[in-house]
Amino acid sequence: MATRWGICSAGKISHDFTVALKTLPAEDHQVVAVAARKLEDAEEFSRKHNISKAYGGYEELARDPDIDVVYVGVIHPYHLEACKLFTNAKKNVLCEKPLAMNSKEVKEILDSAQKNDVFLMEAVWTRFFPVSVEIRKLLAQEYIGEVKMVRADFGVPLLNVPRSVQKELGGGALLDLGIYCLQFINMVYNGEKPESIQASGICLETGVDETVAVNLKYSENRLATFTCSAGVQLHNDAIIGGTKGTIQVPPPMWCPTSLVVNGMETQYPVPEPYLPLNFINSTGMRYEAEEVRQCLLKGLKESKVMPHADSLLLAEIEDEIRRQVGVVYSQDSQ
């Protein structure tokens, strides 16, 4: 029986996610409804993607008995409200990253999912790409020896995008771009909490971070460093340095399709989309969608690949980075 999806929001990322679902077998994944704040937006989305039901409000989606799991694609200041709406309605949830604006909100979302006994996962799609699966396998085999250093960067010019620069829209490089670098480091170091965090950054007049550089120190003298920027183009790769070699993720590191291990490159292409995409390699969201299906079939409430503990730790580290850089959102004082 197919996993029946509801799509919360008719924006760009929801479009790409729906296109990605169509690359999976129809007997496994089916989109049955879409909801937007305006009914006409939902109806336009439903026509484009051949979805049978369109709702002009998220509450209607929450009440729909024919939905197994909701994909939350609203911008991150609204994740808390949306996630709690659906978890309180006993709906399983896949929520776009970052899961929330700060660790307090993340805890609230996780508590709601646990209380209502539903599945919830932060949609860190990078974790589920074949490249990431291969990296975890190589690290488990200690293929490059003991890992001593991880470096990642992600920078693209986004200062003309309101969502990236306005504080009330959750703007800032860290929550939008830096999370990809941070989750990669978190994956390599198996969800371990760093012993120290040193961050410096440059903020825009709007009060959000334009560029941030972070050094993380882990136990046994292991280090990690990352840079994220909404102001300049960076190389957008990642590298893991071990005592017996290196693993490199070429650009784009946030949706990787190739891997270089000790100088040898292997390609992992993603499927072609049936409609034009808004973002590069977005059909790769199919892998996180399939992870959700497999978890639901097993009766799990969280993914072992992207567990709740990782989501909370990422948010806590981001809170500390923002504290050092001087970025405060309204949600921090509520």
In this predicted structure, what is the pLDDT of residue 289? 98
Q: Are strands 69-72 and 92-96 parallel, antiparallel or unpaired?
A: parallel
Q: Are strands 53-55 and 29-35 parallel, antiparallel or unpaired?
A: parallel
| Amino acid in the structure at residue 108 | E
- Give the pair of three-digit tokens for residue 40: 């006409």
Task: Report the number of secondary-structure helices (H) and strands (E) in the chain.
Answer: 11, 14
Write the pLDDT tens digit of every residue in 67-121: 999 999 999 999 999 999 999 999 999 999 999 999 999 999 999 999 999 999 9
Distances (CA, A) of 277 to 18, 79, 131, 283: 10, 23, 21, 8
Map out the domains of the chain with their CATH numbers. Answer: 3-125 (3.40.50.720), 126-267+307-333 (3.30.360.10)
- Whether residue 98 has a cis bond before it, omega within 30° of 0: yes
**In sequence order, what E strands does 161-294 have?**
196-203, 209-218, 222-229, 238-242, 245-249, 258-261, 264-267
Write down the H helix ranges in the chain.
12-21, 39-49, 58-63, 79-88, 103-115, 130-140, 162-165, 173, 179-188, 286-297, 308-325
In this predicted structure, what is the pLDDT of residue 141? 98
- Helix H or strand E encompassing 71: strand 69-72
In this predicted structure, what is the pLDDT of residue 41? 98
Answer for the pair 237, 253: CB distance below 8 angstroms, yes or no.
yes
Task: Extract the residue ranges of the chain whose pLDDT is less than 70.
Answer: 334
Task: Give the closest residue to 225 by CA, choosing from 202, 251, 199, 246.
Answer: 199
Distances (CA, A) of 295 to 9, 121, 179, 292, 298: 24, 10, 24, 5, 5
In this predicted structure, what is the pLDDT of residue 322? 98
Cα distance between residue 311 and residue 316, in whole Å: 9
In this predicted structure, what is the pLDDT of residue 228? 98
